[in-house]
């Protein structure tokens, strides 16, 4: 089995300094920004996914060290590996992956890391289970935990179950973070793709109170006249 150092060496070899510099700005890593201190090697996501396939069969016990890495792409590799593990595991294996994810969720600390992992691990595990962990995450101080809660419901939406998405969307209406507004609006839009009436019922009740970014994301695919109606309801 490859060690943490071996995986880091492979990822370093794939890195591009120009891409790393661009990502430092794109992912808001400067002091005071949402991902302050995150560090990039400049590895393209398809190459990270390629390495995940190459190292399929990695021991679960290797992953905490990867999730605690200061390098973004190392944490991305760990999370994509966990999604892959979960998809192929039996019940006990899935429980172990979910438990590890929740135990080390401090390493899931940028929006792309949340988005590639929360639906396929947290959402899939909680699909037919008690969803109260999502309510606790939605009330957390951490921006990333709140985003995990919202994005986990993407799995439910794909299954035609919208209740938890709507509950969390209402719960997060007053959230101060733009990245939460975007996530909630995106999930509302996904609900609307499958059931427009469910989304519009939420919009009719809450469009006046919704942050503008959340509302714009939610109605992005609506016809222009309907978008205008929700953007200017009075």
Domains of the chain: residue spans and CATH: 1-112 (1.25.10.90), 127-234 (1.25.10.90)
Whole-number Å distance between alpha carbons of 86 and 205: 37
Beta strand residue intervals within the chain, DSSP E:
none
Does 3 score more than 90 pLDDT? no
DSSP structure class, residue 123: I
pLDDT, position 57: 86
Residues 6+ apart with CB under 8 A from 40: 19, 20, 23, 24, 27, 29, 71, 72, 73
Residue 69 sits at φ, ψ, to 5 deg, of -70, 145
Does 215 score more than 80 pLDDT? yes
Region 77-89 average pLDDT: 98
pLDDT, position 4: 85
Q: Which residues of 88-99 are buried (b: 16+ CB within 10 A; e: fewer)?
A: ebeeeebebbbe
To the nearest 5 percent, what fractions of the chain are helix, strand and coil? Answer: 70, 0, 30
Dump pLDDT digits (tens) for 139-168: 999 999 999 999 999 999 999 999 999 999
Whole-number Å distance between alpha carbons of 233 and 223: 15
SS3 71: strand
In a 13 Å sphere around the CA of 223, the CA atoms on its Cβ side amount to 3
Global pTM? 0.96
Whole-number Å distance between alpha carbons of 220 and 26: 23
Does 1 score more than 80 pLDDT? no
Whole-number Å distance between alpha carbons of 137 and 13: 36
Dump pLDDT digits (tens) for 96-107: 999 999 999 999
């Amino acid at each position: 089995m490859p060690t943490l150092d071996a995986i880091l060496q492979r990822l370093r070899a794939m890195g591009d300094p120009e891409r790393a510099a661009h990502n430092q700005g794109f992912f808001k890593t400067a002091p005071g920004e949402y991902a302050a201190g995150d560090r990039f090697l400049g590895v393209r996501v398809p190459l990270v996914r390629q390495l995940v396939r190459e190292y399929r069969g990695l021991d679960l016990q290797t992953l905490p060290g990867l999730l605690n890495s200061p390098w973004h792409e190392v944490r991305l590799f760990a999370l994509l590996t966990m999604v892959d593990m979960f998809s192929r595991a039996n019940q006990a294996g899935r429980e172990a992956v979910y438990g590890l994810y929740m135990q080390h969720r401090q390493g899931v600390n940028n929006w792309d890391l949340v988005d590639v992992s929360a639906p396929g691990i947290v959402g899939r595990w909680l699909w037919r289970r008690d969803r109260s962990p999502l309510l606790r995450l939605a009330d957390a101080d951490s921006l990333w935990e709140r985003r995990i809660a919202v994005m986990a419901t993407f799995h439910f939406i794909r299954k035609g179950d919208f209740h938890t998405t709507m509950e969390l969307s209402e719960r997060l209406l007053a959230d101060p973070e733009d990245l939460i507004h975007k996530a909630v609006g995106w999930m509302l839009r996904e609900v609307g793709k499958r059931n427009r009436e469910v989304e519009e019922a939420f919009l009719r009740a809450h469009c006046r109170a919704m942050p503008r970014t959340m509302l714009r994301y939610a109605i992005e695919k609506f016809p222009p006249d309907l978008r205008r109606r929700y953007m200017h309801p009075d």
